[in-house]
Structures are given as C-alpha cells and as structure tokens.
Amino acid sequence: MVKIFIDPGHGGTDSGSVGNGLREKDLTLSIATRIKDILLIEYNNVSIKMSRPQDTYPSLDDRTNQANAWGADFYLSIHINAGGGTGYEDYVYTSTNQITKTYQDHIHAEVMKLISFQDRGQKTGDLHVLRETDMPALLTENGFIDNINDAAKLKMASFIETLARGHVNGIVKCFNLTKKITAVYHTVVSGDTVYSLSGAYGSTVQQIKDWNDLDSQFTITVEQKLRVK
C-alpha cells in the first residue's frame, strides 16, 4: 500500500495569499481534496492522509509530524504563489536524494502536460515541509493569485480538476499505481451474441460467461444487461 500525505497549504486563521477575490487556503484545499478523491476512487493500493481535510490550521510542525508518524511514502504540499509573477513551479529540499528528484521530474512533467500555465521550472528551497519530512517531499506552486490571468483560471472548476489530474498522473508514474477495473455493462439488442460482444469490448467469451452466469449455450436475451468488461 502506497501512503500519500497531502498537505493543503495554510488554512483556518491563515488565509495564505489573497488576490482577485481568491484565498490561497481555499484553492489549496480544493486541489488537494480532488487529488485525494481521484486517487482513492480510481487507483489500487493507495492510502491518503491529509494534513487538514477542512478549513483548519495545523502548524508546520503538526503537518510534518503527522506525515512522519504515519510513515508516509510521499509528502505533497499544495500552494498558490503570489508576488507579481505567473505560472507553475515546484520545490524539493536543497540537498535531496535522487528518488525525490525523480518524483519531482515526474510530477512537474505531468502537470505541465495538462495546464496552460507558464513553466517556471523545477526548484529547490529550504522549506520546513521539505526539510523536516522523513520521506520524499514536494511543494507545488500552482499559479499566482495576484495575477489576473492566472486567477481567472484558478476560478474555474475545470482548471482545478486539470491541476489535480496533473498531480495524480505524476504520482501514478512515481509509484506505478494501477487503475481499478470499472465494470462496463451492455444492454443486449437484436443480433448481439456473446462472441460479437467479446470482440467489441475486448473481453473473452469465458469472462462474459463467468461475469453473467450464462449457461453452457451462452444464452442471452434482448434488453438483458450484461457485464462485458
């Protein structure tokens, strides 16, 4: 089981950066929650713990202590930038190991594949959540809240989804996570056979038989719902 600790920056009395009608603490929680949900719903053998599932403020020590005590395999800290720039960047600790650098490579690349932000590069920094964690750790800065163009994107639910998907795709690559198999059902119409359905959906005849408890003649009827994948 891969244990991912997700840390939405700021929270509670600490709003983080503010600009263009947005608060960093709200955005980080939205992105982090969506990352958690996608991983748990769509992938096998992954466990998630969040530093704050709600609008609270755990201290920096609280955050890293939680992750260390849990024995997390990876620490992901989500932030939004400010200060007059634009785009996406991420950080690992100033003196880190090759595994952490590789994880940064994967997540940076996968995020940049999906989002329409300027690429500000992969960086290092002496930040608490990177320095005090016992596991590989990455901090991502997802756009500038005080940049009107970045903020316009961050106000869109579809863009938050895209950011989350980019992070997830990177984590999947880091840990070779496999997707859960989602059953697909087909409503039988005239002319369908188990053999034609197996070809259409890429499943074997035996699988369709087993999934649907078909008899030895593979009998199916019109309007019957069959699991086909």
C-alpha 17: how far from chain center: 23
DSSP state of 59: -
Residues acting as catalytic residues? 141
Rounded Cα distance between 224 and 220, Å, is 7
Cα-based distances in Å from 183 to 107, 179, 188, 207, 227: 29, 12, 16, 12, 7
Cα-based distances in Å from 107 to 60, 114, 122, 167, 190: 23, 11, 10, 6, 48
Rounded Cα distance between 10 and 120, Å, is 22
